[in-house]
Amino acid sequence: MQATDSTALGDATRPRRRRLVRDGVAGNSRITGGAAVILLVLLAAEGLTIPLIGQLTEAHIFIGMLLLGPVMLKLASTGYRFARYYAGTPAYVRKGPPPLILRLLGPVVVLTTVALFATGVALLVAGPPSNTLKLAHKVFFILWFGAMTIHVLGHVLEIPSLAMPDWRRHGGREAQLAGSGPRIMLLAASLLVGLIIALATFSGAAAWVSHAGG
């Protein structure tokens, strides 16, 4: 009798576990989509500083450091999905991988993103003129921009459907996924981390402002 009860209890909890995993897949996608929206806005602002980098050096550095928080969140969320998929987690396997071209491009996007921001941080730490680092930063930017353009075009149509539901209170079934509060807080936390980094390193921009002015 006890064994029968235990079996019945186990059977009853399996649908709930499957639902939690399924919701986890959707939640991960929403975090990724939310981070993508933040990054698109900040990257657009950063891009506007490039043509006038001499006059907007401080803004370029500040936004670059601010981007670090959302970038780390985006890399973490996509890396988590990657790991769960290749580990054979059924819900992630059922969701399936991105299209082949985006899968092949993924490592390039990750590596160029890491290299771009690493050289940016290194430039801030080293100070001017750091010509070798400047050249590396520019080269990685060109490679990153090409890879990221294809990446964004491959995902741009799905971003609104992933990022928006957590912000709706009466948006039908797609808005009723548990955990919207923690996901929104996680996105806000990534911005806060970026802001802390930007403020903590802002004094380092003075040398580059003077160098640009000179």
Domain ranges of the chain: 19-213
List helix spans (H) across the chain: 2-49, 57-66, 68-86, 90-95, 100-126, 131-155, 159-163, 180-201, 205-213
- Check pLDDT > 60 for residue 96: yes
The answer to whether 36 and 187 are in contact (CB under 8 A) is no
The predicted model gives 75-85 an average pLDDT of 94
- pLDDT computed for residue 173 by the predictor: 52
Torsions phi, psi for 67 (to 5 deg): -65, -20
Identify whether 129 is preceded by a cis peptide bond (ω within 30 of 0): yes
- Check pLDDT > 90 for residue 145: yes
Give the C-alpha separation, 126 to 208, whole Å: 10
- Check pLDDT > 60 for residue 54: yes
Give the C-alpha separation, 27 to 179, whole Å: 7
Average pLDDT, the chain: 87
- Check pLDDT > 90 for residue 165: no
- pLDDT computed for residue 214 by the predictor: 62
- pLDDT computed for residue 21 by the predictor: 47
Amino acid, single-letter form, for residue 140: F
Smallest CA-to-CA distance from 79 within 115, 124, 35 is with 35
HSE of 150 in the Cβ direction (CA atoms, 13 Å)? Answer: 16
The answer to whether 4 and 49 are in contact (CB under 8 A) is no
Mean pLDDT is lowest, of 69-78, 87-96, 116-125, 194-203, for 87-96
The answer to whether 92 and 85 are in contact (CB under 8 A) is yes
- Check pLDDT > 90 for residue 8: no
The predicted model gives 13-30 an average pLDDT of 65
Give the C-alpha separation, 93 to 180, whole Å: 23
Torsions phi, psi for 156 (to 5 deg): -60, -35
The answer to whether 172 and 36 are in contact (CB under 8 A) is no
- Check pLDDT > 90 for residue 140: yes
Q: Three-state SS string across 5-27, please?
A: HHHHHHHHHHHHHHHHHHHHHHH
The band of 180, judged by pLDDT with boundaries at 50, 70 and 90, is: confident
Tokens of 1: 């009798």
Total-model pTM? 0.85
- Check pLDDT > 50 for residue 64: yes
Mean pLDDT is lowest, of 14-23, 73-82, 123-132, 165-174, for 14-23
- pLDDT computed for residue 169 by the predictor: 63
